[in-house]
Structure formats: structure tokens, C-alpha cells
Amino acid sequence: MTLDDIRALIIDMDGVLWEGERPMPGLVEFFDTLRARRIRFVLATNNASHTPDQYLAKLARMGVQAERDQVIGSGLATALYLKRHAPAGAKIFAIGEDGVRQALLEQGFRLAELYEDDADYVVCGLDRGLSWDKLATATLNIRAGAIFIGTNPDNSFPTERGLTHGNGAILAALEAATGVRPIIIGKPEPIMYQLAMERLQVPPSETVALGDRLDTDILGAVRAEIRSILVLSGISSRAQIAGLDYAPTWVMEDIREVTAAISAGGKPVQAA
């Protein structure tokens, strides 16, 4: 199999492009190669904590330039999903950081304050300022009938210090408290990949997902019916593939190997 027919990549960030504030080796060369080969890309992350502008600033600090419409976080994906499905101006109680709150405000939604219990929706994303009061307000609203939305289901989160808890752990606490399962917007649901492909304007047959997690990035690609590359620089390992009923199209060590494979053009690349 070769990578010579790829016209677009949908690229995860945490564990693929960086660990916390530490860029992965070969980051600048990776993006230089994409541009040289005229491969379009969208950066699509389940991390809902940052806004597109904050991600652009982080990339710039690491020597990479990108455009705002090339970045989709699960917070933005959630706001865009609700824009299509929720009543205009609906009231939302949001657990989350700038990437969730700003996206919802930009789409015209009203944000409920602590202990207001008349929200139409509860949206929960990664929140490093999580408190008892936020969890209590979310619980009260969900029990009162608010629709429960999770930006993403990741149970763990890679940092430069190692793995810590992700948004899935917060969702599990709220589900335990309310008995209500959230509607998930981020990967492995196909919604984010579909939004990315709308922006790329490239057929699914010529689009490939690049990620480090089998249970989100790769399963999401399978559900979106696109090919995928698993890199081993983040969460998942090659050994874990054997126990699954799905698999990535290719497995590579990191973005340096992806860069080399793209640069090789029509030369065969080993499949997973």
C-alpha cells in the first residue's frame, strides 16, 4: 500500500504533534512536507479546553503556521452541532474552559451560572478548574431534564508529566450521579471527521485520519469510513490492535515516519 493518493489529512494533536508544551521531534518538517506535497490538513482534537486561536498560538510557538479554519476542537464541534440541532439562544450550563465557553457564545447560546437549574443543555468538556459547585450544578440540571452533551469521551490525557485523567472521567462522575448517559460529539463519533471533511472539500477516499488513540482517532475514522494512520507516540500500542474488531490502515512510530512515508511518494508502505 502507498500514500501517494492522499490529498488531505485530519490530524489529532495531543500525543501526535506534542506532549503538553513539548513538540514531538520532526514537527516543523512534518508540516513543511505536507505543504510541499500540497496535502490539505485540518487539526481535529478531542481536547476541548482551548480555542482555535489558542491552538494557533501554540503551533506558532513551536514554529508552525496555520489558519483558524484548519483547527477544530471538540468544544467547537459541540457548538456547531448544537447550532444545527438546538433552538436558537438555548441556555447551556457548560463545564469547560475557553474552548467550550467561547465556542458556545460565538454560536449565540446563553450560558447558565452556578446553581441556575433551568438550562436546556449541559455541555461537559475538560475543565482544569473543575469544582464541586460545577458538578453539582450540572447534576441538578441533568436531573431536571437538561440534555447531557459530552464534548469527548477520552478517559486519559497525555501531558509532559505522563497520563492524567481526561474528560471521560468527568462524564463518568456525572453519569453516576444522574443515571443519564451523555451524547458524545468528539471522536470516536464521526461528527468531528465529517465537519473536517466539509472544510477540506476532499473526498473521503482521498482523506486519511492521523492519531494516537485506537478507541477515539482510529475507531472514529472507521465510523467515518476513511483510512487511518496510528502513531505510537501517544496513548495506544501496536499490541492493543490484536484484541479489537477494527484496525488502522497503517501503524507508524511517530510523525517523522509519517513524513518519510509521504516523502516516499509511490513507494510501498507496510500496512497495519
Tens-place pLDDT, residues 182-205: 999 999 999 999 999 999 999 999
Between the alpha carbon of residue 28 and those of residues 129, 187, 201, 260, the distances in Å are 32, 26, 25, 13
Do 86-184 and 8-46+187-263 have the same topology in CATH?
yes
β-strand pairing of 147-150 with 156-159: unpaired
Q: Where along the chain do its domains lie? A: 8-46+187-263, 86-184
CATH number of 8-46+187-263: 3.40.50.1000
Which pLDDT does position 3 carry in this prediction?
81
- Looking at CATH, the fold of the domain delimited by 86-184 is given as Rossmann fold (3.40.50)
Q: Which residues pair with 208 in a beta bridge?
A: 9, 227
pLDDT band at residue 161 under the 50/70/90 scheme: confident
Contact status, residue 223 vs residue 246, Cβ threshold 8 Å: no
Overall pTM surpassing 0.85 (yes/no)? yes
Position with higher pLDDT, 267 vs 163: 163
Q: Which residues are catalytic?
A: 12, 14
pLDDT band at residue 268 under the 50/70/90 scheme: very low
